[in-house]
Structure 1
Amino acid sequence: MIRKGRRRTPDLEYEFTRFAGVVRAGADRAARRAEDAAADMAADSAMYAEDVARHARMAADAAANAADTAKHAATDAASAVVYAKDTVRCAVATADAAVRVVYESYSVRPMHAAANAANAAVNATNAVPSRDAVHAMGAAELRGHVRQMATAAVAALDTAAAVFDQMEPAATVLVRRPGRVTVQLVELAVAALPAVHRARYAEEWLSLLAELPTHRARAGHVLSILSGAPRQAWTLRRPLKPAPPARHGVAGRALK
């Protein structure tokens, strides 16, 4: 039995160290995949993809805290279990954010897998006894709970990472609202134009940017807009040439 005030047994320390290792590996995969995908996503979807990465990093930190507590604490196992449960909750938040990415991108294929993984992780967390019950729990029983939490957390993290591979290709370009910096640069370019033309050109340029598939393509087109704005302004300010007089002949007789 694990009593309050006793150090962790080597087996239990190993179990928490293993827990931290597998969770941190899964969290790193999910975070890197989400960060890579966010760069080429619509603004709304990118925001939730960044949430996936943030929650995954939090899961990794909580797992490391669980392992450190199990190794160094001279109290009971309850503190390490609390960190482990926090780890699973972060993994749940990671999967939930991945579901939101799917929803915002109108890609329904991976939605159920991510939602099911999040629910399974919640159930694994709920199955862990309370802090008071952990004090009287045997080491073997506690190791079983730690393994269940590790399995659930990794499944949620892996499913979150897989969301980005399973999404339909069109999902990342279906809705692509220009970001705040892009809008500001377009407004800067539009300011060089005559006032009467600004609204029309702002709408046209932002619409063109929204159709471009990658961040790099949008950045290149913004630079093109900025460099071409002075010439476009000069063209718009040029007086129109008078229309040439109508020519006499067959066309002229036809109008009589």
Structure 2
Amino acid sequence: MKLEGAGTIVTGGASGLGRAVADLFAKAGANVVVFDLNAEAAAKAAQEIGGVAVAGDVSKEDDADRAVDAAVESFGNLRILVNCAGIGPASRIVGREGPMPLGDFEKVIRVNLIGSFNMLRVAAARMSTQDALDDNERGVIINTASVAAFDGQIGQAAYSASKGGIVSMALPAARELARFGIRVNTIAPGIFLTPLLQGMPEEVQSSLAAAIPYPSRLGKPAEFAEMARFMVENTYLNGEVVRLDGAIRMAPK
């Protein structure tokens, strides 16, 4: 699918990996809805890339509907969804103060897994009604998992469970939506230089980078965005989960 003229929603699009996707796609000619919980940041990002801002929670049905409506009303179509919104708090199953509060586990699952599915279902429904393009294609959906889905560390039980669900969802979603000409792929990033890591001391960043076989550095958000672009533009790529991690395999802790 061509990016030029494609109505696109990027969740978590106001910062980090999502912002990199929004920037690259807009430069390539896509029309982008920046959907983010932070209304001020979403508005700023949308203004800078010539897009549309929608503030909301990906796990809420009404907010997801508003984002889809904004894309169709503003651009006349919705062809691409890139799910980047997520949270990643660390918490042991049994810590010094006892078992992990169940609400903490539920929150991670709700934002990361349910939020991704919520956006996928409403975007796919709208995409399925559009005119087909080349190869009978109507839309592309890209979800963001993590290497933690495969080798999660101590303290990542909730995060790994949420990202593992996203990985497992890729193939059945791709199979089901194939009849509409909608592709579904997933990126599983390793350690990327997001705002969270940028705020860490230099020695911590260097230690993390040293664990990555090659290249021995933190991933650049622009590299994540390039992978998302490849997934959009290569029509034969479907139902796949691609690790983007410099060959890292995470240690237990």
TM-based fold match above 0.5: no
Higher relative contact order (CA 8 A, sep 6+): 1
| TM-score, scaled relative to structure 2 | 0.30
| TM-score, scaled relative to structure 1 | 0.30
The structure with more strand, counted as a fraction of residues: 2
